[in-house]
Chains A and B, each alone.
Chain A
């Protein structure tokens, strides 16, 4: 593949490492969680060395995810603030899903869909964390009533299903919009990718002479 010389930095190295630690934790939590949620998937417990190990390790991975995810929130929250443009973008969602991006308002660093994934995760992860502590039998059983724990278990399951659905949307969008996986693996995107999907972001980078990820970044943009 012939890549243009003027590649833009979509995600800095720290961001990518942070993202993938979170992602690995998420997948492990999903596999072990689903194994404990539905007996049809109990075989997944073998991936963790059996049921006892899976039960023991799941909450610890949850702690790791909360720490790692907090890092992502700190790096991304500013660019995920909701704007009027996002409402317009959502109104044009039928064009978005048909790959007709020329019909859609120009997008800054994140589009409304990405922002919804961000806020969805930010809503659900703390719910999972708190209800998860409540049902962490080994350390927290004595501190709440069994009725509270029953409610926590139901909420934990509901939130987990919600977060898995958000995650499916997130992963599919990354596969669907080609170049996004590269943006999180290598960290770079082509100017054409930025023009097509995040034109407002691209314009801001060009105006600032920065190669990204934000106009304030010190990286110098390459001009043809």
Chain B
């Protein structure tokens, strides 16, 4: 849970202070989603709703298996279904459990203007702290994966917490517990990578030459990883970004403009102040009033 007493934060949004990080002797965790084992049963989606007490509004049918049709403030994980025709002309049904990937370098956290509204735990979980959230939507712009959703009711941002409340007391996330095929695994990141490698070797032996792990280095790696049959083309899986990165625009805004701007504003104020100290104020003098009076009376004389 995202309260400061947790004392294991490695990052806090919008703060220049060192976060309370003394109790950080934790192993990095990861959830491994083995897309190749997924049967699309949506048990994970139900378990997420169940554990987190989420009941998103009933959606309309829009011609696809997705239900609801998109992530939402009350839908933190969503099975996405993509039909792909492979080189042999066979149909592949690529089903991906979408949700927050818990980036090592979280774009949402970087973009967030509210101190402590987004935190990163030592175990890698990126969590939203609703009481500090101001509902500006900057996290939505920071995220390379289009994950956070702002509630129109309470104007807070929501996404998967990786069940930080469960993980904090030694349990696995609810979706992991519910998965009937073992397609979702949870453990330390190094264990998950090891397991994924075994699985990938297996897949390659079975003809999926491009099988691989999705743990994109562009965002420092993620704490939710996918095993994909087509790791060379992640975008086949309902638009999973091939090269996810925090937008350069966000980098310019938060990385360059933010520090330069305040210095610029402060410099302008200081320059103005010292101008008045050096040159002095521009005051109307007696001579001006006399000259003005002369012009005024000159006009009177003529009329």
Closest to A189 in B: B284
B181 surroundings in chain A (CB, below 8 A): none
B295 surroundings in chain A (CB, below 8 A): 191, 195, 202-203, 206
Interface string of A165-180 (1 = CB under 8 A from B): 1001100100111110
Number of residues of chain B lying within 8 A (CB) of chain A = 55
**Whole-angstrom distance between the alpha carbons of A52 and B281 in the complex?**
42
Contact B135 A137 (CB under 8 A): yes
**Whole-angstrom distance between the alpha carbons of A221 and B283 in the complex?**
23
CB of A56 within 8 Å of the partner chain? yes
Q: Which of A97, A150, A165 has the most CB of B within 10 A?
A: A150
Number of residues of chain A lying within 8 A (CB) of chain B = 61
Interface string of A148-182 (1 = CB under 8 A from B): 01110110011001001100110010011111000
Contact B284 A193 (CB under 8 A): yes
Given contacts A153-B249, A178-B281, A192-B288, contact A146 B299 (CB under 8 A): no
CB of A13 within 8 Å of the partner chain? no
B132 surroundings in chain A (CB, below 8 A): 51
CB of B182 within 8 Å of the partner chain? no
Interface string of B257-273 (1 = CB under 8 A from A): 11001101100110010
Closest to A147 in B: B247
A39 surroundings in chain B (CB, below 8 A): 13-16, 113, 115
Given contacts A45-B134, A161-B257, contact A150 B296 (CB under 8 A): no
A97 surroundings in chain B (CB, below 8 A): 275, 279
Contact A206 B299 (CB under 8 A): yes
Chain A, interface SS category: helix
CB of B18 within 8 Å of the partner chain? no
Chain B, interface SS category: helix
CB of A74 within 8 Å of the partner chain? no
CB of B292 within 8 Å of the partner chain? yes
**Whole-angstrom distance between the alpha carbons of A151 and B250 in the complex?**
8
Closest to B288 in A: A192
CB of B217 within 8 Å of the partner chain? no
CB of B152 within 8 Å of the partner chain? yes
Q: Specify which of B265, B276, B293 is in contact with A164 (CB 8 Å cutoff).
A: B265
Closest to B260 in A: A161
B65 surroundings in chain A (CB, below 8 A): none
Contact A55 B280 (CB under 8 A): no
Contact B269 A176 (CB under 8 A): no
A45 surroundings in chain B (CB, below 8 A): 134
Interface string of A193-224 (1 = CB under 8 A from B): 11111000011001101000000000001011
- A169 → chain B closest CB, angstroms: 8
Number of A-B contacts (CB under 8 A): 169
CB of A14 within 8 Å of the partner chain? no
Closest to A39 in B: B14
- B193 → chain A closest CB, angstroms: 30
CB of A98 within 8 Å of the partner chain? yes
Contact B288 A4 (CB under 8 A): no
Q: Specify which of A52, A150, A178 is in contact with B135 (CB 8 Å cutoff).
A: A52
CB of B240 within 8 Å of the partner chain? no
Contact A101 B282 (CB under 8 A): yes
CB of A37 within 8 Å of the partner chain? yes
Contact A4 B253 (CB under 8 A): no
A150 surroundings in chain B (CB, below 8 A): 141, 247, 249-250, 253
**Whole-angstrom distance between the alpha carbons of A164 and B265 in the complex?**
8
Q: Specify which of B115, B155, B285, B300 is in contact with A223 (CB 8 Å cutoff).
A: B300
Contact A168 B269 (CB under 8 A): yes
Closest to B303 in A: A209
Q: Specify which of A4, A51, A149, A190 is in contact with B134 (CB 8 Å cutoff).
A: A51
A164 surroundings in chain B (CB, below 8 A): 265
**Whole-angstrom distance between the alpha carbons of A190 and B292 in the complex?**
9
14 A-B pairs whose Cβ atoms sit less than 8 Å apart in the complex: A4-B289, A35-B113, A41-B262, A42-B113, A51-B134, A52-B134, A55-B135, A97-B279, A147-B247, A161-B261, A168-B268, A178-B284, A195-B295, A196-B284
Known: A50-B134, A169-B272, A197-B282. 14 other contacts (CB 8 A): A39-B16, A137-B150, A141-B140, A161-B264, A165-B264, A168-B272, A191-B292, A192-B285, A193-B284, A194-B292, A195-B289, A203-B295, A221-B296, A223-B297
Q: Which B residues are within 8 Å of any A CB, using their own CB?
A: 13-16, 113-115, 132-138, 140-141, 146, 150, 152, 155, 247, 249-250, 252-253, 257-258, 261-262, 264-265, 268-269, 272, 275-276, 279-286, 288-293, 295-297, 299-300
Q: Which A residues are within 8 Å of any B CB, using their own CB?
A: 4, 6, 35-42, 45, 50-52, 54-56, 97-99, 101, 135, 137-138, 141, 146-147, 149-151, 153-154, 157-158, 161, 164-165, 168-169, 172, 175-179, 190-197, 202-203, 206-207, 209, 221, 223-224
The 6 A-B residue pairs with the shortest CB-CB distance, nearest first, are: A192-B289, A51-B134, A191-B292, A39-B14, A192-B288, A137-B137
